Amino acid sequence: MLHILDNWLERANGRGGPHIACRRGCAQCCIGAFAIDRLDAVRLQQGLSELAERDLERAQRVLRRAADSLDRIAEFFPGDLETGILDDSPDAAEIFEDFANDEPCPALDPGTLTCDLYAHRPMTCRVFGPPVRSEGGLGVCELCFTTAAAEEIAAAEVPLEGEEQESALNRELERAIGPGETIVAFALLGA
């Protein structure tokens, strides 16, 4: 499933050409906490495990950044601090809108501004940048397509084929380990 999406993204980036601002070292989308599902959390944990096998010191830096992040944001976390699961109530959702907007992702290496877990990044990270359709319409990164015509944006749209498969895998995982969304820092620390 991920390889299909990654192939579509590569083609969308090609169609977007100079309108795509996403480059190595651009970390605009790596700032601010966002909800991830159980499948994304498992992928991140797998990526961290693989990183530890290749480069233990780097993996430990990721874990240290995750722990430091939780220290900074725990007081305002709109969920269960023991499990890391976000509360799905309307009040908690409203709190989450402003929660940790300036918090860097723990997977972001602050020296290189690259993702230490790039191959295992969450779905939100994978589809950020090129045009992706959602309930709100066709969305793009605020740094991309700033001078593009509507036709150019539409031509670079990423169809989210395989979304049903992704949802089915996540539902299966939730049946096995329980429902709920979390954030990257909790996922990396195995909450």
pLDDT in tens, 137-153: 778 888 888 898 888 88
Going by C-beta distance under 8 Å and a sequence separation of 6 or more, which residues neighbour residue 87? 78, 79, 80
| pLDDT of residue 15 exceeding 80 | no
Cβ atoms of residues 7 and 162 within 8 Å: no
Choice between 155 and 43, residue whose per-residue pLDDT is larger = 43
Q: Domain boundaries in the chain?
A: 2-188
**Structure token digits, residue 120:** 């295992």
H-run or E-run covering 59: helix 56-73
Distance between CA 69 and CA 183 in Å, rounded? 11
pLDDT(31) > 60: yes
**Does residue 10 register a pLDDT over 80?**
no
